[in-house]
Chain A
Amino acid sequence: MAEDQFMRFLAAWALVHETADEGWKAAVVRGAEQETGSMEAGPEAFVDGLSAMIAEEKERLKAALASGEVEAPGSKADVGSQLDDLLFEVRELRGRLESMQTTLDAVLAEDEDHGVK
């Protein structure tokens, strides 16, 4: 989801600047040797780890680009999650209405019990 999008985003950047940053490449090599996301070793190691994650994503992105299955922002997946949220809100509304209906029925039934028609 959002998290993956971000990785992909960074990966795209790295891909475009493939030759730009030697420091980055060195970080990737160091980072690939440690457990992903590990922070025991402090901020440097953390950045290395992050770089390695991005490098991995970059390779995936390269492959995806080659096979033509890349989605742009505002794409299907994006719209899909927005639709999910909307759908949830509609369903939630239905839930509220059902509960209100029940309460309304109860009040009416009460009135009948007391002979108020």
Chain B
Amino acid sequence: MSRRTRVITRTFALHWARALPRARFGFAPRATRRAAFARATRLALEDLGPAFIKLGQVASVRPDLVPPEYVFEFEQLQDRVPPLPAERIAAVIRHELGRPLFELFDDFETEPIAAASIAQVHRARLAREVRPVIGDVMPAGTPVAIKVVRPGAAQVIAADLAEARRLLSRLDRFGLSRRIDAPALLEEFAASLASELDLRNEGRVSDRFAHDFRDDRCVMTPRIAWSHTSRSVLTMEYVEGWRLTEIDDAARAGVDAFHLALHGATVFMKQVLVLGRYHADLHPANLFVTPDSRICYLDFGIVGTTEREERINIAQVLAATVYGDADRALCYSAKLGLEVPEDKQAQVRRRVGELMGRTLNVPGKAADVKGFATGFLSVMADARVPIPAGYGLLVKALVTVEGVARAIYPDIDITRAAKPFATRLIAQQMMRPDRIADRLPAALRAALRELVS
């Protein structure tokens, strides 16, 4: 056993041991027990550092591979590390952009705004005018955030990753990994890491988002300074505002929090149902509310996609879920690949219906999407129904959106955004003009029949 392996094993053992009383040594109700061990695992991952934190973060967007309690616990993993000295960061900038810092930027601040295991962010001002892909020219002096990949980040993580691989193969012998598909996660991890290490991907996704929402006054993304950007350096407009993690009542009072929270949910619906690209990994820390009442999206992490053919079914599932129709929700879920075996259908339908009543349709209370999602995924796990990856990602993303909206306006009910959207979309998608221009009346009749069926 290598020293590192011993440390890793000990860390997990320690945290799990501490979780035992909370789980009443295995006699607590199942949900309590699972939650206690999920929390212990998260604390262990945080202690173990960057690679494990990243691994946990990847696990947190894979409800198809990881039990729901873990998914929602790992989402809270904080990837924060002590910053590297500014000179090291300046050296990367100089090397990557080919010019000394002072030629490119003014007022480079040596104290970083954020330091995570992969990248560190510093504030500065543009030394000259820059024309972004979207939006107005950024004049010289514009404040920018420079995100820089830490030198050696890739190697450090690769080493820890190898360790994690060894460890997980050993864990296979214990019960833990029965419900966690470790090899699949590691593969995913390696892929997501490769794309995160190239910051240009983030810039492109950001520009694309700005384009998609060019007519929406309520959302924004920082403009990217491509002339000051390379693989490991991303220069973008610095955005003033409150992170959702730090928004308080004073801030809420200054903006239209209710409207913004609802709008945030609507943006998501539009991404999933119209544009086909959505943020699967929204984090309150990566969203800002600006003083002029806009939501600013930073760091796009994992982007999920939906195919045209899927969207109508997704809209149907959403609509059915929102008005508590378990039957329809499951019927359209089947079209998205969530297949409940014949002999389990009655039972699953009953449990899902009951869950809807308990979480989404409680008179006088805002819908609890997270409660519903956790319950739903558990019902599926109990019935041994495999969750298609895309389906799981979407469920998780919806929960994240609720979290984000609640950070802005704690009592928000995001199904309020889903309702009108899904209503229109079901009709709209079924009736896309290009498809039916030539056989109009027949299609309309068919659509209406579908809607009332």
Whether both chains belong to one complex is answered with yes
For the residues of B in contact with A, the DSSP-based class is helix
Which residues of chain B in 398-453 are interfacial with respect to chain A, using CB atoms and an 8 Å cutoff?
Answer: 419-420, 422-425, 427-428, 431-433, 437, 440-441, 444, 448, 451-453
Q: Check: B10 CB closer than 8 A to any chain A CB.
A: no
Question: B322 near A39 (CB under 8 angstroms)?
Answer: yes
Given contacts A47-B451, A91-B133, A98 and B226 within 8 Å (CB-CB): yes
**Contact of B98 (CB < 8 Å), options: A2, A13, A92, A107:** A107
Question: A17 near B98 (CB under 8 angstroms)?
Answer: no
Given contacts A17-B441, A39-B322, A105 and B452 within 8 Å (CB-CB): no
Q: Check: B227 CB closer than 8 A to any chain A CB.
A: yes
Residues of B within 8 A of A1 (CB): 215
A103 to B452, CA, bound (A): 58
Q: A16-28 CB contact bits vs B (8 Å, 1 = yes)?
A: 0100000000000
**Contact of A10 (CB < 8 Å), options: B322, B323, B444:** B444
Residues of B within 8 A of A39 (CB): 319, 322-323, 419, 422-423
**Contact of B95 (CB < 8 Å), options: A37, A40, A84, A110:** A110
Question: B96 near A106 (CB under 8 angstroms)?
Answer: yes
Given contacts A102-B97, A103-B96, A106-B96, A95 and B452 within 8 Å (CB-CB): no
Q: Give how many B residues have a beta carbon under 8 Å from the other chain's beta carbons.
A: 47
Question: B441 near A37 (CB under 8 angstroms)?
Answer: no
Given contacts A39-B319, A39-B423, A106-B97, A10 and B431 within 8 Å (CB-CB): yes
Residues of A within 8 A of B420 (CB): 36-38
Chain A nearest CB from B207 CB (Å) reads 6
Q: B210-231 CB contact bits vs A (8 Å, 1 = yes)?
A: 0100110000000010111111
Given contacts A17-B441, A99-B227, A102-B230, A92 and B133 within 8 Å (CB-CB): yes
Q: Check: A60 CB closer than 8 A to any chain B CB.
A: no
Question: B227 near A102 (CB under 8 angstroms)?
Answer: yes
By beta carbon, the residue of chain B nearest A50 is B427
- How many A-B contacts at CB < 8 Å in the complex? 113
Question: B428 near A3 (CB under 8 angstroms)?
Answer: yes
Residues of A within 8 A of B452 (CB): 43-44, 47
Question: B427 near A96 (CB under 8 angstroms)?
Answer: no
Question: A99 near B226 (CB under 8 angstroms)?
Answer: yes
A2 to B99, CA, bound (A): 46
By beta carbon, the residue of chain A nearest B431 is A6
Given contacts A6-B428, A95-B207, A105 and B98 within 8 Å (CB-CB): yes
B: residues with CB less than 8 A from A are 95-99, 132-134, 200, 203-204, 207-208, 211, 214-215, 224, 226-231, 274, 319, 322-323, 325, 419-420, 422-425, 427-428, 431-433, 437, 440-441, 444, 448, 451-453
Q: Which 9 A-B pairs have the closest CB atoms?
A: A106-B98, A37-B420, A95-B226, A109-B98, A98-B226, A105-B98, A6-B428, A98-B227, A95-B133
20 A-B contacts (beta carbon < 8 Å): A1-B215, A6-B431, A17-B441, A36-B420, A39-B319, A42-B323, A43-B453, A46-B319, A46-B451, A50-B427, A53-B424, A92-B133, A94-B133, A94-B226, A95-B132, A99-B226, A102-B98, A102-B229, A107-B98, A108-B98
